[in-house]
Amino acid sequence: MDQSGNIAFKPLDPLLHSELRLAVMSILITVTEADFVYIRKQTGATAGNLSVQVDKLSQAEYIEVEKTFNGKIPRTICRITEKGRSAFAEYVDTLRQYIGH
């Protein structure tokens, strides 16, 4: 509680509070890795928007991105990092506090 007797809520991580970034993290928390095409299909995002959001998560070191080729076809693989797992777990815990009060 704060000084006025109100319940003090922890702020939600603004990086994860974006719907698309949260969807990407929700996918990656459950798998070892996922390619860009799979994530795009699961989220329904455009390639451009997803690319921007993946870059933001990568810059925050919440995910790692590996660019490879399958034959001549480029392939982008995404994996959640330990920092990303911790941030996601904290985000979920904070949401639970919001819901529980």
CA 55, CA 93: separation in Å to the nearest integer? 25
In a domain? residue 14: no
pTM of full prediction above 0.85? yes
- For the beta carbon of residue 59, count every other beta carbon within 10 angstroms: 10
Number of compact structural domains in the chain = 1
Q: How far is CA 40 from CA 1, 2, 10, 47, 87, in A?
A: 41, 42, 31, 7, 22
In a domain? residue 3: no
Q: So what's the pLDDT on residue 62? A: 98
Q: So what's the pLDDT on residue 2? A: 46
In a domain? residue 5: no
pLDDT tens, position by position, for the chain (101 residues)? 445 555 677 889 999 999 999 999 999 999 999 999 999 999 999 999 999 999 999 999 999 999 999 899 999 999 999 999 999 999 999 999 888 86
State both tokens at 78. Answer: 């995404």
CA 9, CA 72: separation in Å to the nearest integer? 50
Q: Which structural domain, as residue segments, surrounds residue 23?
A: 19-92
What CATH number did the domain enclosing 72 receive? 1.10.10.10
Q: So what's the pLDDT on residue 1? A: 46
Q: So what's the pLDDT on residue 67? A: 95
